[in-house]
Chains A and B, each alone.
Chain A
């Protein structure tokens, strides 16, 4: 098969893989942002044991490779507990990968949110208080937008990293785009020994990170009317 014959087959396969990549990306954001917020609130609690617990969790998750976390979450229930909750299909692998990514990214987001909230000068809170505002009003009307503005740069970093990190799910054979590209090396759809599909996956990542960069720049510009 020459290149022009290979291309449509590879293209279709990579598209399918990239869809799975995007699914994992979306699920991670949808799960990790609220969970991260929850963790951040817990980490700022006045109850010391809770703070310590969150700090420990965050340290363990951020201090160890996501790849190991993926492997543990995927294999631990079946191999150690003899209770293979994930099953053996793609659905199970996707569920396991989602859990690992949501937990991992929630910990990173947690630290960003906490930093953003604690970085707002106390004067803002106190100004709201002496004006008779309720704590909830102060949070939503005074602090929230300032926090959002402050966390856009670190969040955009993390989110761009996330799109690339999804490729780690290859380790548990999730059929994302790297898996799809690699399959043509071993042989798939009548093509084997082809390395270019794997290289070609880079284009997809570049397109995705390019779009994300533009979106975040727009957002940043939108909030540049105040300092």
Chain B
């Protein structure tokens, strides 16, 4: 059973159709890379998966459970249990979106603490839970190579370090699927390497990921599957080696030619 199934997803902003009948699925432990020209709808797709946008129609299913059947559901349905639905996904933003008043470690711990607080056993196990959450946060940051930076505030960190904190942030609640929206686009070229290395490490450990990126070499090397989006539709998809070396569609060829020079 695929971990994620997206069927006939449609989304328009006013008159503009931004996602036009998007369908795909992915297996647990694989990395899917989405490439495509600017304005193609990649960000909107990730935002729909994370329930930051309400699709006009379509189905989102995770582990066989239908999280969203947009054509059937009204606004109230979309909002119902939206927090629980969101927890299936993690999202790493292009602009990091760390919380500036918290240290790297506090950033990573915050969401888990908020969730733990809602558990009935929070009061009696408070100290132990906080210690567990702290250890978990420290482990995640160590994993990101930030053991020396845990107590720094975001403004004291480089862009690459911020983005790695953001990845730890997104991993803290163990999402089924981790989404990246151009995680290196806001970074200086010399800082992209460290972030890509971390994502590659996640791929090696079979983290289920959707990566929207303009780093074509990276997409080709890391992804198990690639989708090329243009004008709100999936133009071409398949094995990255196939799509990159032998694109079938004229549009894909055109797009990739910009990157080969």
Q: CB within 8 Å of B: which residues of A?
A: 121, 123-124, 126-134, 137, 141-142, 145-146, 149, 225-227
Contacts and interface: CB of A to CB of B under 8 A. Distances in A.
A199 B52 CA distance: 61
Contacts of B100: 146, 226-227
A226 B172 CA distance: 23
Interface centre among A132, A141, A149, A227 (most CB of B within 10 A): A132
A126 B86 CA distance: 11
A34 B170 CA distance: 36
Given A137-B114, A145-B101, A227-B155, A129 B86 contact: yes
A18 B85 CA distance: 59
A22 B246 CA distance: 79
A226 B98 CA distance: 12
A126 B111 contact: no
A130 B91 contact: yes
Contact of A127 (B84, B99, B114): B99
Contacts of A226: 100-102, 153-155
Contacts, number: 66
Q: Name the 5 nearest CB pairs between A and B, nearest first.
A: A131-B111, A127-B97, A123-B97, A227-B155, A226-B100
A130 B89 contact: yes
B90 A134 contact: no
Interface string B30-60: 0000000000000000000011100000000
Nearest to B98: A127
Interface centre among A127, A137, A149 (most CB of B within 10 A): A127
A131 B155 contact: no
B76 interface: no
Contacts of B110: 131, 133, 141
Interface residues of B, number: 29
A134 B87 CA distance: 12
Nearest to B90: A130
Interface of B: 50-52, 83-84, 86-87, 89-91, 93, 95, 97-102, 110-111, 114-115, 153-155, 169-170, 172-173
Contacts of B89: 130
A211 to B, nearest CB: 27
A124 B100 CA distance: 9
Contact of A126 (B84, B93, B114, B115): B93
Contacts of B52: 126, 129-130
B233 to A, nearest CB: 26
A20 to B, nearest CB: 39
B83 A134 contact: yes
B86 A130 contact: yes
Nearest to B95: A123
Nearest to A121: B97
A116 to B, nearest CB: 14
A225 B83 CA distance: 31
A107 B35 CA distance: 49
A219 to B, nearest CB: 15
Contacts of B101: 145-146, 149, 225-226
A109 to B, nearest CB: 22
A130 B98 CA distance: 12
9 contacts: A127-B99, A127-B169, A129-B86, A130-B52, A132-B84, A132-B111, A134-B114, A145-B101, A226-B101
B177 to A, nearest CB: 12
A127 B86 contact: no
Nearest to A131: B111
Given A145-B101, A227-B155, A132 B115 contact: yes
A149 B51 CA distance: 30
B10 to A, nearest CB: 22
A227 B95 CA distance: 15
A29 B172 CA distance: 42
Nearest to B85: A132
Given A123-B97, A227-B100, A132 B155 contact: no
Contacts of B84: 132
